[in-house]
Amino acid sequence: MKKTIFGVIGLTMFVFLLGGSTLRAETTMMSLTTVQQTQMLQQKLISLLRQRIEMLQVELAKLQAGTSLSTETVQTVLRLTKPLKMGASDEEVKLLQGVLLTDPELYPEGYQTGYFGDLTEKALRKFQKKAGLAETGEVDNKTIWKINELLTFGAGHSGKIPPGLLRAPGILKKLGLATTTPPGRDITVPVIISLSATSTLATSTKIIWQTNELASSKVWWSTLTPPVTGASTTMMKQNNIFVISHNLTLDNLATTTTYYYYVGSTDYAGNHATSTTNSFTTLSQ
């Protein structure tokens, strides 16, 4: 009887140990399967990331080559559009510094930080002296015009400021900066086209027009024809931001009234153009 009991106990312990070993083996196999699945997932993710990186590299190469930028976009980007002075900080200051640093004699420090500080002012004064401009140390309208002209001739359609831009003899000669004679001056007035009054209501209208170059916007209007500049009967509105597409809204007009108007635009070089007199009639209430 004792032998039987001990035999049963021994058999039970053997089965228990065998079962434990089997359970550990199955758990180990499950763990290995989970690791393998994780590794496969990581490999797929790495493959996808590599494909994405390759696509981004292709797009970057296109951008660097300039193939995805139109001429209009390039010319818009590489252009100063407003006055700049000490303390200014934006992308246009960075563009200014990019032009100045192409000539180490003007801007030996060569910092392109986007901040208009003492070094930028000093370099700008040197540029203005070289260009025959007033040495103000500020980017005024005439300086904007000269730098934009330089960018147009130098960068062309590439959208990049070439090294040595201010020392390229062909460009400097064309801009009047390479000789001892006074530099040439822009004497061509802006061309005003597509002038009209639109969206006319009972007490307002919108005057729109285009110019062939960046210029300011001004409109004079009166119930008399032609409107006389400076007269008490003549109203005037202006916008000194230099643009190509001009848009000025006239408010507080009388209803059912015919108004006569003309517009004017002035470019960076100070050349001023005016249009012929046009008219519009407001609506009734």
Do 99 and 151 have their domain in common? Answer: yes
Q: Which pLDDT belongs to residue 75?
A: 41
Q: Helices 141-155 and 91-100 meet at what angle, rounded to 10?
A: 70
Q: Are residues 145 and 57 in the same domain?
A: no
Same domain as 240, residue 159: no
Is residue 139 within 8 Å of residue 124, measured between CB atoms? yes
Q: Is the dihedral of CA 166, 171, 173, 176 positive or negative?
A: negative
End-of-domain residue from the set 175, 206, 226? 175
Verify that 22 and 91 share a domain, yes or no. Answer: no
Q: What pLDDT was estimated at residue 30?
A: 53
Do 171 and 77 reside in the same domain of the chain?
Answer: yes
Q: What is the CATH number of the domain that holds 216?
A: 2.60.40.10
Spatial CB neighbours of 130, under 8 Å, sequence gap ≥ 6: 106, 166, 177
- Where do we find the tokens 């006055």? 83
Residue finishing a domain among 68, 90, 115:
68
DSSP state of 34: H
- pLDDT tens column, 118-161: 899 999 998 988 888 899 999 998 898 888 888 877 766 566 77
pLDDT < 50: residue spans in the chain: 2, 4-6, 8, 11, 14-18, 66-76, 180-183
Instruction: Report the pLDDT value the prediction gives residue 154, as an integer from 0 to 100.
Output: 73
Instruction: Please state, in angstroms and rounded to a whole number, the distance separating the CA atoms of residues 137 and 114.
Output: 16
- 251 touches 202 (CB < 8 A): no
My answer on whether 89 and 164 are in the same domain is yes
Instruction: Specify the CATH number for the domain of residue 162.
Output: 1.10.101.10
- Structural domain total, the chain: 3
Look up the domain containing 46 and give its range. Answer: 1-68
pTM for the predicted model, two decimal places: 0.42
| 94 and 39 inside one domain | no
Residue 199 lies in a domain: yes
